[in-house]
């Protein structure tokens, strides 16, 4: 049978593993698709770079010429970033090629343009590898759960930051030392800012929210806080609470009194304390895990390798087989439909809980004064504990749920409170209700 011809854009951490799997599993892939898959070209920036196991004769720096070649059937994009990836994907689709991409940054910024093009040119756009690496997560959301009503998606979707926080928690490592290790292991993006400032997780949260709630969500809609401000004091404070700090991506419907769809969605990424008894607390190193809570299905957990060349290439190859089968059958798979126009609510309206550690002067009235500040903003205290005495006292306060704006206003008030020497740690609390 005539082989299906595949063009690869990018041959870095993920791309080299895609090439290896295509070569090593050629016979099995051909049997699964029903026809051989032939790699006909690989676009890179620096063709002279050493790439183990890659046939140099396939390399080109002219990516546009490669994707528009008449004899190419399927394009895999693992360059990353917005441009030239977007133009190349659009050029490929315009010339009738189905596309597989791992590019969460592009999907979260301008997925609507890509989905519209896929519809217009009747081609597939598959992107399982863009969220949580090897973990089959998008296809379950897009296909298996499409008949259900998803309430919440909560998870650890960035391997680099999970690795860093895990090293800080278990090894007492410093932030920079742990980041260097994550980079050496190939987890971190080329520019680690995307990981440690939460941009990578925010892009993934946007993709998850869009699929879960069938509503348009872009990275710009996501409330984002990274882990660069997480201190050893925060990690130690979490330990005292028998908790651990994790960078969480949270997508949830915000209920309204009598409504089913909710009055909107909340999509957010921030470091938060979760109890050690919570299943997400035991997600170590660069692993990812995601909970999906749906009306009929109940709670589902997806766990596995969320980053790295081989795991990500596994997801790319899964998409490749699915797309290749569609090409052989002369059809295309499901296309995203974002029919619900749910507003993404501002962070200030989202209800959260805070852990706050204060260095205070242990004088009569300090506790009453602190409690008064919480009351002034309508924030209810769940637990309070004092440690130390005299000049060296600390108050640890854990709140009940309150609008995030009220909680942060309380913290600002406490910073200005004369008997509070320092607000030593502020961390949101998730997962113990």
Ligand X SMILES: NC(=O)C1=CN([C@@H]2O[C@H](COP(=O)(O)OP(=O)(O)OC[C@H]3O[C@@H](n4cnc5c(N)ncnc54)[C@H](OP(=O)(O)O)[C@@H]3O)[C@@H](O)[C@H]2O)C=CC1
**Residues flagged as binding site for L-homoserine:** 189
State in angstroms the smallest separation of the CB of 9 from ligand LTNE7NMQ: 17
Half-sphere exposure of 245 (CA within 13 A, CB side): 31
> ∠287-185-226 over CA atoms, to 5°?
60
Q: Is 97 a catalytic residue?
A: no
267 binds, among ligand X, ligand LTNE7NMQ, none (CB under 5 to 8 A by kind): none
Strands (E) across 128-204 are located at 150-156
At residue 352's C-alpha, the angle toward residues 251 and 105, to 5°, is 35
Q: Which stretch binds ligand LTNE7NMQ (CB under 6 A): 152-160, 248-256, 264-272, 289-297?
A: 152-160
Nearer to ligand LTNE7NMQ, 5 or 246 (CB): 246
Which residue has the closest beta carbon to ligand X?
12
The yes or no reply on residue 198 touching ligand LTNE7NMQ (CB under 6 A) is no
411 in Cβ contact with 423 (< 8 Å): yes
- Cα separation, 262 vs 260, whole angstroms: 6
Stretch 168-197 residues interacting with ligand LTNE7NMQ (CB under 6 A): 187-189, 195
Alpha helices in 266-403 (DSSP H): 309-329, 366-376
Tell me the chain's radius of gyration from C-alpha atoms: 24
- Which of 2, 204, 239, 246 is an active site residue? 204
Query: x/- contact string, 275-314, with ligand LTNE7NMQ (CB under 6 A)?
Result: -------------------------------xx-------
> Annotated binding site for NADPH: which residue ranges?
104
Q: Is 84 in the site for ligand X (CB under 6 A)?
A: yes
CA distances for 6 relative to 49, 148, 403, angstroms: 22, 35, 50
User: Residue 376: how many CB atoms within 10 A of its CB?
Assistant: 12
Q: 35 or 183, CB closer to ligand X?
A: 183
Per-position x/- string for 11-50, each x denoting binding to ligand X as judged by CB under 6 A, each - no binding: xxxxx---------------------------xxxx--x-
**CA distance linking residue 51 with residue 23, whole number of Å:** 14
From ligand LTNE7NMQ, ligand X, none, interface partner of 424 (C-beta below 5 to 8 A by class) = none
Output the six-digit token pair for 335: 């296309």
C-beta atoms surrounding 139 within 10 Å: 18
Catalytically active residues are 204
Residues engaged in binding ligand LTNE7NMQ (CB under 6 A): 158-160, 187-189, 195, 200, 306-307
């Amino acid at each position: 049978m005539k082989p299906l011809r595949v063009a690869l854009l990018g041959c870095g951490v993920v791309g080299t593993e895609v090439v290896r799997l295509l070569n090593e599993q050629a016979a099995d892939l051909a049997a699964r698709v029903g026809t051989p898959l032939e790699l006909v070209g690989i676009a890179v920036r620096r063709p002279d770079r050493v790439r183990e196991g890659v046939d140099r004769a396939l390399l080109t720096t002219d990516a546009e010429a490669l994707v528009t070649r008449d004899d190419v059937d399927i394009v895999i994009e693992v360059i990353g970033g917005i441009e030239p990836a977007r133009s190349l994907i659009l050029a490929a689709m315009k010339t009738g090629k189905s596309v597989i991409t791992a590019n969460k940054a592009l999907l979260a910024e301008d997925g609507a343009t890509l989905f519209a093009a896929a519809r217009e040119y009747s081609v597939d756009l598959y992107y399982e590898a863009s969220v949580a690496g090897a973990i089959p997560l998008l296809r379950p959301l897009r296909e298996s759960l499409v008949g259900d009503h998803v309430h919440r998606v909560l998870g650890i979707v960035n391997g680099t930051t999970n690795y860093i926080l895990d090293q800080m928690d278990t090894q007492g490592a410093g932030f920079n030392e742990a980041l260097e290790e994550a980079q050496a292991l190939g987890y971190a993006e080329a520019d680690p800012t995307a990981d440690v400032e939460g941009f990578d997780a925010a892009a993934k949260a946007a993709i998850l929210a869009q699929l879960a709630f069938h509503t348009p969500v872009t990275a710009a809609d996501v409330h984002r806080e990274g882990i660069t401000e997480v201190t050893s004091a925060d990690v130690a404070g979490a330990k005292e609470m028998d908790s651990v700090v994790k960078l969480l991506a949270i997508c949830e419907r915000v209920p309204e009194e009598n409504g089913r769809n909710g009055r909107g969605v909340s999509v957010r990424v921030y470091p938060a304390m979760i109890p050690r008894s919570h299943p997400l607390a035991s997600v170590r190193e660069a692993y990812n895990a995601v909970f999906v809570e749906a009306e009929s299905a109940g709670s589902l957990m997806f766990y596995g390798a969320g980053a790295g060349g081989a795991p990500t290439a596994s997801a790319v190859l899964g998409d490749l087989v699915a797309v290749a089968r569609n090409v052989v059958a002369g059809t295309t798979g499901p296309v995203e439909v974002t029919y619900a126009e749910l507003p993404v609510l501002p962070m200030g309206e989202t209800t959260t809980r805070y852990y706050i550690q204060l260095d205070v002067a242990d004088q009569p009235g300090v506790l009453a004064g602190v409690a008064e500040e919480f009351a002034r903003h309508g924030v209810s205290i769940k637990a309070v504990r004092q440690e130390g005495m005299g000049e060296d006292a600390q108050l640890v306060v854990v709140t009940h749920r309150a609008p995030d704006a009220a909680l942060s206003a309380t913290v600002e008030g406490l910073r200005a409170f004369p008997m509070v020497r320092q607000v030593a740690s502020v961390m949101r609390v998730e997962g113990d209700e």
